[in-house]
């Protein structure tokens, strides 16, 4: 307790009781780069706000822009009452540095840029909150060249705290909290699989910092001060079931405690909510099922939902997010399974539900509605081989950004059961990009964009055809000097494939084997990959996955 009190003083936290930083009519404008633009932590904060305050009138416009540096001036047309700023990553990455680089000049420019933003938003009457910019993970080799960059971002964090003092702005230690979370992860787990972007539960950790420091739980009085994180309810919460196979099944959680305790459980899912009081004896394990109706649980293929469960005991509070996602289960026949990728009917219910800006509908594609296919087969009991065909009359391979050119994008989840479907990609997941090139001769690049250690065990090639190209990808041999790729060790694995087609005036189009809420941002849908059920573990052709985050 003394240690926590000292940290609270260091951060400038004050006890605000049950009062929130937010007012019920606040317009909170989020600004930043791709780390905020991905919209994950904002969505979690908004979802939790609706859980505690279902009738509030807060709005959460996100005006962050992918790839922008700190000099970027965000759009303020929303007339915000609150503005958060988290930027700086693009001032640092995309360069090569020596081990002992002096970042002083960059820090001075960063100071001027952030100060300009702060004063601009304050002049508009907004309360400005500063987030220390998240750091890179220099252990990861990636396209973004994170090596020797952390020092610069740490210096940027000091700049943020300086501006906070000078301008009277609240500062949230987002980077510091994320580093503390990263330190808790197990073998092969990563908060930033590309060395730069926090994904999945790492984004949830950012959201939890905001929820705690700005006291989203509290009464929406608009007391513009930071709160200390609440003491957690001493109850362990674990998933009991990881999938919902049958209609009427409910999420089951195991509650246990080392002490006798009575606590309140509040939950919300879809439009339903409820609460109950539970009592645990020391060492007792209690199975609790989230008591929403079948209607609240019902998801169509490709859809997602979030339940929120909070526990309270006196002033102690814990918060949990439960992600549900409906996905397809494919059962190989004689070790093989195949998928067709097509343009969808614009009027179909699924298309209307999951429509996005890169979608191309039936009748719109020059080469026809049949875009391509993929066949997956096992070989030698341990290897995995894929081959496919793409019907594409114009092959574009010139863009520097790999998904800005013609590409077959595949995601694989080779994690063991306990981590399977987790929202944070790690070393046992990989995104493979297959990109064709015409000159000087036709060639095919197979790149492990995520999970770069898989680069050591993948084989790829392809051929030009009259109406497009064929491609082949294989997983065989060693991933590292001590680990061999062996698909036979898994009862099932996750798979997703999209064909990215970049054709002149038509622009970039994306066609997937399964439509979902995050068809474009598949990195946000690792709990919704198609499940390749190698050993007939699943009873049906669809299931709902369950993921749990919280404390």
Task: Give percent of the chain with pLDDT exceeding 90.
Answer: 87
Task: Judge if 236-327 and 332-535 fold alike in CATH terms.
Answer: yes
Contact 534, 492 (CB under 8 A): yes
Write out the two tokens for 501: 């087609």
Assess whether pLDDT exceeds 50 at residue 14.
Answer: no
- Average pLDDT of span 407-421: 95
The residues facing 420 across adjacent strands are: none
Which pLDDT value is given to residue 503?
A: 82
Contact 191, 182 (CB under 8 A): yes
Q: What confidence tier does 504 reach under pLDDT thresholds 50, 70, 90?
A: low
Alpha-carbon gap, residue 52 to 274, rounded angstroms = 12
Write out the two tokens for 423: 């929202």
Q: Is 346 exposed, middle or buried (0-12, 13-18, 19+ CB in 10 A)?
A: middle
Contact 525, 200 (CB under 8 A): no
Which pLDDT value is given to residue 145?
A: 85
* 122-135 pLDDT, tens digit each: 999 999 999 999 99
- Average pLDDT of span 146-153: 94
Torsion of CA 21, 23, 29, 31, to 10 degrees: 0
Which pLDDT value is given to residue 494?
A: 98
Write out the two tokens for 202: 């790492």
Q: How many residues does the chain have?
A: 551
Assess whether pLDDT exceeds 50 at residue 7.
Answer: no
Q: List CB contacts of 393: < 8 A, sequence separation 6 or more.
A: 366, 367, 467, 468
Q: What confidence tier does 399 reach under pLDDT thresholds 50, 70, 90?
A: confident
Which pLDDT value is given to residue 350?
A: 87
| CATH architecture, range 2-213 | 3-Layer(aba) Sandwich (3.40)
Write out the two tokens for 36: 């905020």
Q: What are the domain boundaries of the chain?
A: 2-213, 236-327, 332-535
Assess whether pLDDT exceeds 90 at residue 401.
Answer: no
- Average pLDDT of span 486-506: 92
Class of domain 332-535: mainly beta
The overall average pLDDT reported for the chain is 93
Alpha-carbon gap, residue 44 to 322, rounded angstroms = 11
* CATH topology (fold) of 236-327: Immunoglobulin-like (2.60.40)
* 353-364 pLDDT, tens digit each: 999 989 999 999
Q: Pairing between strand 82-86 and 127-131?
A: parallel
Least confident among 30-39, 96-105, 192-201, 385-394: 96-105
Exposed e or buried b per residue across 119-131, where buried means at least 16 C-beta atoms within 10 angstroms of its C-beta: eebeeeebbbbbb
Q: What confidence tier does 526 reach under pLDDT thresholds 50, 70, 90?
A: very high
Packing angle of the helix pair 174-182, 201-213 (nearest 10 deg): 130
Contact 238, 549 (CB under 8 A): no
Task: Give percent of the chain with pLDDT exceeding 70.
Answer: 97
Exposed e or buried b per residue across 406-429, where buried means at least 16 C-beta atoms within 10 angstroms of its C-beta: bbbbbbbbbbeeeebbbbbbbbbb
Q: What confidence tier does 17 reach under pLDDT thresholds 50, 70, 90?
A: very low
Assess whether pLDDT exceeds 90 at residue 31.
Answer: yes
Q: Around Cβ 232, how many Cβ atoms within 10 Å?
A: 14
Alpha-carbon gap, residue 118 to 125, rounded angstroms = 11
Assess whether pLDDT exceeds 90 at residue 532.
Answer: yes
| 170-172 β-sheet, strand order | 28-32, 82-86, 127-131, 170-172
Which pLDDT value is given to residue 422?
A: 95
Write out the two tokens for 488: 């036979």
- Average pLDDT of span 438-446: 94
* 60-70 pLDDT, tens digit each: 999 999 999 99
- Average pLDDT of span 530-547: 97
């Amino acid at each position: 307790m003394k240690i926590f009190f000292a940290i609270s003083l260091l951060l400038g936290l004050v006890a605000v009781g049950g009062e929130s930083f937010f007012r019920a009519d606040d317009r909170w404008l989020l600004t930043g780069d791709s780390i905020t633009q991905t919209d994950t932590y904002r969505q979690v904060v908004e979802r939790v706000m609706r859980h505690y305050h279902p009738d509030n009138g807060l709005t959460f416009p996100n005006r962050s822009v992918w790839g922008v540096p700190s000099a970027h001036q965000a759009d303020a047309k929303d007339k915000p009452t609150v503005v958060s700023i988290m930027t700086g990553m693009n001032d640092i990455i995309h360069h090569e540095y020596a081990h002992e680089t002096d970042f002083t000049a960059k820090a001075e420019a960063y100071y001027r840029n952030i100060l300009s933003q702060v004063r601009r938003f304050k002049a508009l009457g907004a309360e400005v909150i500063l987030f220390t910019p998240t750091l890179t993970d220099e252990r990861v080799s990636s396209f973004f060249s994170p090596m020797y960059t952390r020092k610069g971002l740490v210096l940027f964090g000091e700049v943020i705290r300086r501006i906070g003092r000078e301008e009277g702005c609240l500062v949230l230690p987002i980077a510091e909290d994320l580093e503390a979370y990263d330190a808790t992860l197990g073998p092969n787990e990563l908060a930033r699989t590309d060395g730069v972007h926090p994904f999945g539960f790492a984004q949830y950790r950012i959201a939890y910092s905001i929820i705690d420091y700005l006291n989203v739980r509290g009464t929406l009085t608009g007391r513009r001060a930071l709160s200390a994180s609440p003491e957690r309810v001493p109850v362990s919460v674990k998933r009991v079931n990881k999938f919902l196979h049958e209609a009427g099944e409910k999420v089951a959680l195991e509650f246990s405690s080392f002490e006798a305790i009575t606590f309140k459980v509040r939950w919300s899912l879809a439009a339903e909510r409820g609460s109950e009081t539970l009592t645990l004896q020391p060492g007792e394990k209690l199975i609790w099922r989230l008591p929403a109706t079948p209607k609240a649980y019902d998801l169509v293929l490709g859809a997602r939902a979030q339940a929120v469960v909070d526990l309270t005991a006196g002033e102690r509070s814990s918060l949990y997010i439960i992600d549900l996602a409906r996905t397809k289960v494919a059962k190989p026949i004689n070790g093989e399974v195949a998928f067709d990728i097509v343009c969808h009917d614009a009027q179909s219910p699924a298309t209307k539900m999951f429509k996005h800006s890169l979608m191309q509908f039936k009748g719109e594609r020059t080469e026809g509605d049949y875009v391509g296919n993929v066949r997956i087969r096992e070989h030698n009991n341990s290897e995995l081989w894929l081959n496919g065909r793409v019907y594409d009359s114009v092959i574009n391979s010139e863009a520097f950004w790999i998904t800005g050119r013609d590409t077959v994008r595949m995601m694989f989840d080779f994690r063991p059961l306990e981590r399977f479907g987790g929202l944070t990609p790690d070393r046992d997941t990989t995104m493979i990009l297959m990109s064709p090139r015409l000159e000087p001769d036709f060639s095919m690049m197979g790149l492990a964009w995520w999970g770069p250690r898989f680069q050591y065990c993948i084989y790829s090639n392809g051929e030009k055809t009259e109406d497009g190209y064929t491609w082949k990808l294989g997983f065989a041999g060693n991933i590292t000097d001590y680990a061999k790729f062996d698909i036979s060790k898994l009862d099932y694995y996750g798979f997703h494939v999209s064909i990215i087609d970049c054709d002149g005036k038509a622009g970039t189009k994306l066609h997937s084997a399964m439509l979902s809420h995050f068809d474009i941002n598949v990195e946000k849908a690792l709990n919704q990959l198609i499940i390749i059920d190698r050993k007939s573990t699943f009873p049906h052709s669809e299931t709902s996955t369950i993921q749990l985050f919280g404390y």
